[in-house]
Structure 1
Amino acid sequence: MKINIKAITVMIKKISLLLGVIISSTAFADKVQLLDPKVSFQAVHRNGAHIWASGTNGGIYKSTDNGQQWNKIEGPKDSENLQFRDIQPLGKGGLIVMSAGEGDNSRIYRTHDSGKNWQLQIAGQRASTFYDCLHFINDQDGWLYGDSDEDGLFILATNDGGISWQRQALPFAAQAGEGGFASSGTCLNKGQDGNIYVGTGNGISPRVLIKNGQDWQSLDVPLPGGEAAGVFSLQQAEQWLYVFGGSLKEQGKAAKALRYNLVSKQWSSLPELPLKSAVYGSALIKKDNKIHVLIANPQGVSVWQEGADNWKSLSNNNIWSLACDDQLGCIGVGKDGLVESFTFH
């Protein structure tokens, strides 16, 4: 039989190319660390190889080498009993942390010198106050979201680095009990499109509040509502708004993941999640021109590649919050000082 060497060569090249794409899109956990068993991490933020994590007992840690080594940052005075459920760096030596809790246990602190000195910027003034998520666009402009109170939806903004905060007047009322989930620092996010996105729950109908320029919009989310249910985390990339949640009362049911096409204005479901109850944290990473979606909760971490039929489990560890870099991979942080890194090839 005559062998067509040229055809075989072309086929081998095609197979190699296909395998190359598959391999380059493979994610796996490659390192697990236990930094401090007294600190259960609830938030993580990164700028390239520089990563910050925070959590219970006033714990704050930083890595400058993509999570290989970590150093503890001394927190604000008398903050040992606070839960720092969101964290974000601000410029050289600048760092801001948000504690969540009832009343004045909800606080925002900022340091300009890598933790040598801290300033209390704002604290809850009412018993009903409960901060959920924080996000700064730059060193000066930031947003704070918390549970609704007697005056309605609770969204504050600052344009002076957090020295002063202004409550936002929204063109729609709060639902009874409506608020957020301080589970990962990702219930409030800035999208790649420049919009601000806020996920809500605990009300009759979960929704996403969107600030587009000067206008606020309310987008109903087709997820179950009610107490301890709704939107826990959200991300935006390209034409998609990714929304993650579920119900803390439905421990046996699959957590939820949807995405909304900002162009066609249509919702679609992602494949059924392997995680139960609710997604706590999420992150996106782009590899080989495809978006990879990571989700986490106390049952572990899973990833979905755009176009795939199902999710892949990456870890069974108790992870609350995730942060990714397209070149360096992803970091997850969670219970009892756990830090886990994920690599994409």
Structure 2
Amino acid sequence: MKRLFFILLSFSLITSCKEKEIQVVENEAVPFTAATVDNIFTDSISIRAISIDSGKIWYAGNNGKYGYFDLNNKKDFNGHVAKDTLKLEFRSIAKTASHIFILNVGSPALLYRISKDGSEIKLVYQEKHEKVFYDSMQFWNDQEGIAMGDPTDDCLSVIVTRDGGATWKKLSCDQLPKITEGEAAFAASNTNLIIKGNNTWMVSGGKKARVFHSSDKGNTWEVFNTPIVQGEAMTGIFTADFYDSKNGFIAGGNYEKPNQNFGNKAITKDGGKTWNLIADKKAFGYASCVQYVPNSNGKQLVVVGSSGLHYSSDSGENWKQFSTDKDLYTIRFLNDSTAIAAGKNKIVKVNFKKR
């Protein structure tokens, strides 16, 4: 009887272990092997800011242009903002449940709130300064949002809203870490400002390439050094993404030496406190946008930049080139196998293939 009991117990344990092994394998994201790219929108426009909202791809671009492409009915809406004789270039976009927000680079800074139903477009913030240059914008929730940009004083410029974007207030430099002379940010793809829950990260470049972190929706800040190439005006971190509150990836390099592939990518496993270079002297050079693949356990990433679209299935250690199109500036995922990218004169749909 005892022998039978031990046999049954052993069989049960083996079966249990096998079930657990199977479960682990099932939860492991299957790597991509290739990608196809389909044009879905074409115009004479430079697009560095997109936002996906219920099947609509909202975009903001140069020459005062903004709008959306509806994936469901294949129709598009083209809007235009005119302000005196200014040629507005929108490189930041964000959304709430009811509105889209677009923010231009240069002075004066102009932030517009647009009703999704098309009933209203309203200027909700403006700032004049010879150095003003906003780079990125995001929302924590439907009431609270943040935008960041180059310093006009001795800190990065940061504005916040706590009333759904109706009003915005600039933070005092007393509330922010001091920057180094020549340290700024890049409006490459609306990805140097990242939000996960209450956590917020901002990245810089130029004389210093650093990561600024807030754990309380922008009320207090700390700053950390990175090993990304720095010291010249067009070097540093151009893009960042976090899979969760701990795991993140930064990329960039030297915009003036786009093939330089060392000191241009790094990872963190502690929420941005420490960073380690990865894939040094391998894969791509200058990168304008990095994104984690959804539901990939932080293992899969895609990057667009001067050498096309690259993909990694091992947290950035190794990369495969899926496209040589150097005119894609920004990318976002619709789901865990489809993304939308935009850039020079187009928006495209990227379909990733699995084995």
Tell me which interval the TM-score lies in, with the shorter structure as reference length: 0.7 to 0.9
2:37 equivalent in structure 1:
31
Which runs of 5 or more residues in structure 2 are unaligned?
Answer: 1-22
RMSD, aligned CA: 2.9
Cα distance in structure 2, aligned partners of 1:78 and 1:342? 38
1:8 equivalent in structure 2:
none
1:275 equivalent in structure 2:
284
Cα distance in structure 1, aligned partners of 2:115 and 2:284? 39
1:190 equivalent in structure 2:
195
Q: Is the 8 A contact 1:61 1:70 kept in 2?
A: no
Q: Is the 8 A contact 1:42 1:321 kept in 2?
A: yes
What do residues 195-249 of structure 1 show as CA deviations (whole Å, max 9, x unaligned)?
A: 000001112x210100112431101111121211111111112331211111113
Q: Is the 8 A contact 2:93 2:100 kept in 1?
A: yes
Measure how far apart 1:137 and its partner are. Answer: 1.4
- 1:321 equivalent to 2:336? Answer no
- 1:337 equivalent to 2:340? Answer no
2:12 equivalent in structure 1:
none
1:296 equivalent in structure 2:
304
State the AA in 1 paired with 2:308: G
What SS class does the counterpart of residue 345 from structure 2 fall into?
helix
Measure how far apart 1:194 and its partner are. Answer: 2.9
Shift of the 35–308 alpha-carbon distance from structure 1 to 2, 3 Å rule, reads: closer
Measure how far apart 1:257 and its partner are. Answer: 1.3
TM-score of the superposed pair, with normalisation by structure 2: 0.81
1:167 equivalent in structure 2:
170
What SS class does the counterpart of residue 232 from structure 1 fall into?
strand
Q: Is the 8 A contact 1:74 1:115 kept in 2?
A: no
Measure how far apart 1:153 and its partner are. Answer: 2.3
What SS class does the counterpart of residue 73 from structure 1 fall into?
strand
State the AA in 2 paired with 1:199: V
- 1:132 equivalent to 2:135? Answer yes
Shift of the 47–37 alpha-carbon distance from structure 1 to 2, 3 Å rule, reads: closer
1:201 equivalent in structure 2:
205
State the AA in 2 paired with 1:224: V
Residue in structure 2 matching 1:178, options 176, 183, 201? 183
Aligned residues with identical type, % of pairs: 20
Shift of the 72–249 alpha-carbon distance from structure 1 to 2, 3 Å rule, reads: same
2:235 equivalent in structure 1:
229
Q: Is the 8 A contact 2:110 2:127 kept in 1?
A: yes
1:7 equivalent in structure 2:
none
Which runs of 5 or more residues in structure 1 are unaligned?
Answer: 1-16
Shift of the 115–39 alpha-carbon distance from structure 1 to 2, 3 Å rule, reads: farther
1:245 equivalent in structure 2:
252
- 1:150 equivalent to 2:158? Answer no
TM-score of the superposed pair, with normalisation by structure 1: 0.83
Measure how far apart 1:158 and its partner are. Answer: 1.0
Measure how far apart 1:72 and its partner are. Answer: 2.3
Cα distance in structure 2, aligned partners of 1:264 and 1:96? 27
- 1:285 equivalent to 2:293? Answer yes
**How many pairs does the alignment contain?**
323
What SS class does the counterpart of residue 101 from structure 2 fall into?
strand
Measure how far apart 1:288 and its partner are. Answer: 5.5
What SS class does the counterpart of residue 224 from structure 1 fall into?
coil
Cα distance in structure 2, aligned partners of 1:249 and 1:189? 25
